[in-house]
Amino acid sequence: MVYLTFFICFLAAAGLTPLVKKIAIYVGATDVPNARKVHTHIMPRLGGLAFYLAFVIGMLILRPDSSYTMPLLIGSVIIVITGILDDIFTLSPKIKITGHLLAALVIVQGGISVAFINLPFNGVLYLHWLSIPLTVLWIIGITNAINLIDGLDGLAAGVSSIVLLTIAGLALTEGNSFVFIVSTLMLGSTLGFLPYNFHPAKIFMGDTGSNLLGYVIAVLALLGFKNVTLFSLVVPIIILAVPISDTLFAIIRRLVNRKPLTAPDKSHLHHCLLRFGFTQGQTVVLIYGMSALFALAAILLSTSTLLGSLLIIVGVMLIIELVVEGVGLVSANYRPLLNAYKRIVSLGGKVK
């Protein structure tokens, strides 16, 4: 029944998107080009409403028997309403964060939180009073991380689909039916929207869509990896390595340049790849590949030994650092590893 509903969500999203496009144009939910954006003409940006409605249809069909169902749905309503208002009126960052905070608190009130973190050698780190702020920070952070990568046609939808597919697969192997159902329905809904959003896009998902995806993924990540015996919190972090690292280095970049954390710029990963000469389509597919690589690493990590897990974590960190330095994600002059490599090669040449 889950797989049939997956296709229903896919078809519902595909059928609703043209209707939502007309609504977006009618209510003025459009994205106007500017110096920071890649597109060159006005675009409707309420597309997230289409795959949200498709997702709700799927949830009504399956009605997952879980105490987490209502908190997730109520929180998603808050996220979507905030996103719709932002897509139409362009809300201030404070108002948007307030909406995200309320949605996160609904989840905490519903009994979902990071109460502990599994450690090596059967260790457990109990978070006690840190549990609630860490949970809220995680949900708000991932919600906005997906929003920040939504800068090219099909990028956020495709990366989120890879993440959702990975979460669904891991949930299926672990027997976590609620996470499997929710991730599968959201995956089907997002894929139904993606053909309209891939380059050249006919409609953007807007904050309605990117924040919804980030919110649902953040909650699923909290629910789906409590039984991983090694570094339980690291698994979802690796799955989400692309949006998390892009957001983290955006914060570092703004601190280094002494700019406000909310200040927009054109130095995100996709902007850097475009400056290297890649087309929009090539850039999106390249980032899809990165996301798939990290997803595979997360799958391997969830079943690896201690030594294997440590090697995977080190490998992932090394890849991220090399990408950051190679594309200039912090700045053109930030290249510690690459410069160290050049010095070693230079010294090796002198020795010979």
- Tell me if 79 sits within 8 A of 49, measured CB to CB: no
Q: Which of 97, 57, 55 is nearest to 78 (CA)?
A: 97
- Tell me if 135 sits within 8 A of 108, measured CB to CB: yes
- Is residue 147 annotated as involved in ligand binding? yes
- Is residue 197 annotated as involved in ligand binding? no
Q: What is the distance between the alpha carbons of residues 140 and 127, in angstroms, rounded to a whole number?
A: 19
List of residues 6+ apart from 97 with CB closer than 8 A = 140
Backbone phi, then psi, for 123, in 5-degree steps? -85, 155
- Kindly provide the b/e burial profile for residues 32-66, where b requires at least 16 CB atoms within 10 angstroms of the residue's own CB: eeeeeeebeeebbbbbbbbbbbbbbbbbeebebee
- Tell me if 114 sits within 8 A of 222, measured CB to CB: yes
Which residues does the annotation place in the binding site? 147, 207
Q: Which residues are annotated as a binding site for Mg(2+)?
A: 147, 207
